[in-house]
Amino acid sequence: MAQILDGKSLAQQIQAQLREKIQTLEPQLGRPPGLAVLMVGDNPASAAYVRNKERACDRVGIASFGQHLPTSISQTELTQIIHQLNRDERIDGILVQLPLPDHLDDVALLTEIAPHKDADGLHPTNLGHLVRKEVGLRSCTPAGIMRLLQAYEIDPAGQQAVVLGRSILVGKPMALMLLEADATVTIAHSRSQDLASLTQAADILVVAIGRPGLITPDMVKPGSTIIDVGINRITDDHGQSQLVGDVQYDQVAPLVEAITPVPGGVGPMTVAMLLQNTVWSYCRQHNLLEAFSA
């Protein structure tokens, strides 16, 4: 069987390290780091994600300034809230929980977040830093994946990496981070021809499509590393629901070298990187990035 890349355990280690840093810095700076998560509407999955993030903040000592806003909120009203948070000195990180209701322009809203408070690493300025290999806030899910690979000593250098999905949230920044780590990167998507031939060539396969069981055993290279970003809730014939990934885990795991489980793989690492980005911004605001790196 494959080595299981345990994101839950690694995320707990990262949170413990962040908690220690905050306990050291807060007495010096007079306040804890602050994170504001903005959630619009009543999407059950989004509500669960936000609760998870708030609990994680509590565990490490980050102050939460979250707001649950009505579905009817306008683009102008939400923009004004973001501008207020940009000016609030207690807040180091701002995150707009996606997806948003259809009448709201998420791309426009993300650009309103001050780049130094962009906890999700999705502002054009921060994506530009990534392209240029400059220091900056990194997109949480891809950054979490890179940290997971590092922890398990899986070096992308010289490897063939295939990323399924081209979203700004995962696919595109993931490809850039793998490229930065000296992998040879292919991005595949819904219009790619002969998908199986691409995935079969991958030493590292990152799947971020959102389609349960998309990747079957015949689509993977034996001995490869499989990173499953998909989180899909399905219901069986008995009415029981469960979370599954985009990879047929039980069938694929015996064939590969390493694989992330769902749940417990990429998801916890995404939250850990959100907290890390917030603490990094906190240290940067106080000219203490050396303390963050220590």
Catalytic residue among 6, 15, 21, 53: 53
CB 276 within 8 Å of CB 16: no
Provide the 3-class DSSP secondary structure of residue 61.
coil
Provide the 3-class DSSP secondary structure of residue 201.
coil
Q: Which residues are annotated as a binding site for NADP(+)?
A: 165-167, 231
What tokens does 217 get? 């055993």
**Sign of the alpha-carbon dihedral angle for 161, 166, 170, 176:** positive
List C-alpha distances in Å: 286 to 3, 27, 121, 275, 279.
41, 13, 19, 17, 11
Q: Any catalytic annotation for residue 221?
A: no
Q: Which residues are annotated as a binding site?
A: 165-167, 231
What tokens does 32 get? 């804890």
Distance, CA of 109 to CA of 88 (rounded, Å) = 18
Catalytic residue among 6, 120, 228, 246: 120
Q: Any catalytic annotation for residue 120?
A: yes
Q: Any catalytic annotation for residue 97?
A: yes
Catalytic residue among 97, 159, 248, 276: 97
Q: What's the CA angle centered on 20, arms 16 and 84, to 5 degrees?
A: 95
Which residues are part of the catalytic machinery? Answer: 53, 97, 120
